[in-house]
C-alpha cells in the first residue's frame, strides 16, 4: 500500500518548525499545482500531476515534487485513498508588476520592496497566468524561517474592464454568452448584454464571468 511516511526533517528546517506548519490533509486527486505538502518529512511543492496508469486494479496518481529547500525534483505515486499533508504557509499580499524571462515581479505594498519569483511556482493551472493584470493583488506563500517565499496565487475574484465583445450573429432567444476580450487581452465568455467599457467580476479559478462590478 502506498502511503506517506512522516519522519523528522533532516534538512535545514527544524522538526518543531515543520510540525508547527502542518495544516490539513487532502487526497492526491485534490492536490493542486503549487501546493506544498509534507512528504517524507520534507516540504515539497507539487509541480506536475499525472492521472495515468493503475496499480493492482486501482487508479494511480503520479505527482512530481520540487523540494522547497534544495530545489531537487522527485516523483511518487499515490492511490486515491492515500492522503497528503498540506503545510500551512505564512501568507502575504503583494501587487503584480510584470512578468519577464520566466519570472513574475511583485511589489510588497508595506515595504515597497520588489520580489521576483519563478513562474513555475504559480499555484494553479498555468493557463490562468493570462489573467494577470497590472496592480492585481497576489498572495505569496512563505515557509518560515526557511526557505522563504515558495509559491504564489491569484485572488479568487478580480474586476476587469471589457475591451471588446464579439458581435452576436444568431438571434436565438434567451441568454447567450459571447467571447469577450478584457483590457489585459485575456478572453472570457460574457452574457450578450455586456458592452465594451463595462467592468465585470471574473472568477479566476474557473476563468468565468460572475457579474457586473
Q: What is the pLDDT of residues 31-74, one digit of tens each?
A: 888 788 888 888 888 888 887 665 566 788 999 998 877 778 89
In the numeric block, the cell 498572495 is attached to 139
83-100 confidence digits (pLDDT tens): 998 887 788 899 999 999
Question: DSSP E strands: which ranges in the chain?
Answer: 22-26, 36-39, 42-50, 54-55, 58-67, 73-79, 84-87, 90-100, 103-108, 114-118, 137-143, 148-153, 157-165, 177-182, 187-191, 199-203, 208-212
Confidence band for 5, pLDDT divided at 50, 70 and 90: very low
Q: Tell whether the model's pLDDT for residue 185 goes beyond 60.
A: yes
Amino acid at each position: 500500500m502506498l502511503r506517506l511516511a512522516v519522519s523528522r526533517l533532516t534538512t535545514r528546517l527544524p522538526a518543531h518548525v515543520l510540525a508547527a506548519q502542518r495544516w490539513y490533509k487532502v487526497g492526491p486527486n485534490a492536490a493542486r499545482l503549487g501546493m506544498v505538502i509534507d512528504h517524507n518529512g520534507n516540504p515539497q511543492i507539487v509541480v506536475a500531476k499525472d492521472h495515468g496508469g493503475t496499480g493492482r486494479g486501482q487508479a494511480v496518481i503520479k505527482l512530481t515534487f520540487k523540494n522547497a529547500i534544495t530545489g531537487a525534483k522527485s516523483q511518487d505515486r499515490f492511490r486515491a485513498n492515500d492522503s497528503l499533508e498540506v503545510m500551512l504557509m505564512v501568507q502575504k499580499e503583494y501587487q503584480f508588476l510584470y512578468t519577464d524571462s520566466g519570472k513574475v515581479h511583485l511589489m510588497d505594498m508595506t515595504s515597497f520592496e520588489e520580489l521576483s519569483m519563478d513562474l513555475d511556482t504559480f499555484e494553479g493551472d498555468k493557463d490562468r497566468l493570462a489573467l494577470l493584470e497590472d496592480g492585481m493583488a497576489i498572495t505569496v506563500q512563505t515557509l518560515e524561517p526557511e526557505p522563504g517565499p515558495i509559491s504564489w496565487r491569484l485572488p479568487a475574484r478580480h474586476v476587469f474592464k471589457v475591451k471588446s465583445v464579439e458581435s452576436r450573429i444568431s438571434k436565438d432567444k434567451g441568454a447567450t454568452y459571447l467571447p469577450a476580450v478584457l483590457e489585459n487581452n485575456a478572453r472570457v465568455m460574457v452574457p450578450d448584454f455586456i458592452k465594451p467599457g463595462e467592468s465585470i467580476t471574473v472568477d479566476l479559478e474557473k476563468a468565468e464571468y460572475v457579474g457586473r462590478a
